[in-house]
Amino acid sequence: MMTINHVKIFAPATLANVGPGFDVLGIALDQPGDIVIAERKNEKGLSFSLHDASNPLPGNHKNVAAHVANLMLEEFNPPYGISMILQKNMPIGSGLGSSGASSAAAALAINTLLPKPLAKMDLVRFAMEGEMLASGSPHADNVAPALLGGACLIRSYHPLDILKLPVKNDLFWIVAHPHIEIQTQAARAILPEMIPLTIAVKQWGNLAGLITGLIQGDSGLVGRSLIDHIIEPVRAHLIPGFYEVKAAALTAGALGFSISGSGPSVFAVTPTRELAVRVATQIQKTFLTLSHIKCDIYISNINLEGANILEQSS
Ligand code: HSE
């Protein structure tokens, strides 16, 4: 096998939870995303630099990409070191899976340079450690789709069992990122530890319905299943005007609407691109008129590829 000495990796933003699937369901988007460039060097160990002057991310040892890279170098102990640059294109605390994208890109970069690279699925456990560092919780609903692409179900955490769902992928996902920041750790701290059985019954009915709808390409089923009875009601108040924006999106024709990951990004889903643009305009307008908050919009189908190699050389 050819020895790879230099690699450039892209890992995409992800939409975690997707309504009723808290911590167990996530999808990959086309854009935005982070880039990691890595190359072998003679001295062992990691040298790391961050290219994003506008982003107050922690330096070297605390950066999630550096953390993931260090864990992999410790475990595989290759006879060389790696110098790595993270091109941070995504805002942190956005609900777009920013730390997940950095972690996934770093894991795939280090892996590509290893003498015997692992399968992408085997990198999820390393990328999850980046999430642990960023939010205090090693959830995989961002890093799994960021690495593997598609819609990923975390069937079990112990042992880790991740399924890439065979989705029809004919729907359009609109993710709106309002320019405020919510730290995942804080958004997790307010969640209930216990939920009533009656609520749990509704939630797992909807999650199963959503997954069935995505696989069968049944937009009506996706729409009526995209209801989160547990997490959205607790986090909605963190996003100014959340219920007004939701009402505007649904009135404009969205099949469903909820919070992307731990917010503040929100998402909607539509059967056509034309309708997606209309819904996106209403979301943007409502955030601006109601709360004077600007937002960026991303529209795509599910990105089925996930993290990928942009360049490599020996
Ligand atoms: N499932 C996680 C949460 C995703 O909702 O806290 C964080 O992006």
Domain boundaries, the chain: 6-165+303-313, 172-300
Q: How far away, in angstroms, is 217 Cα from ligand 1 center?
A: 25
Tokens 């460039």 sit on residue: 37
184 is catalytic: yes
Q: Give the per-residue pLDDT at 37.
A: 98
CA distances from 159 to 156, 178, 261 (A): 6, 36, 23
Q: For the domain with range 6-165+303-313, which CATH number is right: 3.10.20.30, 3.30.460.80, 3.30.230.10, 3.40.50.300?
A: 3.30.230.10
Contact 147, 68 (CB under 8 A): no
Contact 101, 33 (CB under 8 A): yes
Omega within 30 of 0 (cis) for the link into 32? yes
Q: How far away, in angstroms, is 17 Cα from ligand 1 center?
A: 7
- Residue 198: partners with Cβ closer than 8 Å, 6 or more residues away: none
75 is catalytic: no
6-165+303-313 and 172-300 in the same fold: no
The gap between the terminal CA atoms of the chain, to the nearest Å, is 11
* pTM for the model: 0.96
Q: Which helix (H) or strand (E) holds 223?
A: helix 219-225
Fold of 172-300: Alpha-Beta Plaits (3.30.70)
Residues of the chain with pLDDT under 50: 60-61
- Write the pLDDT tens digit of every residue in 42-59: 999 999 999 985 666 665
Q: Give the per-residue pLDDT at 268.
A: 98
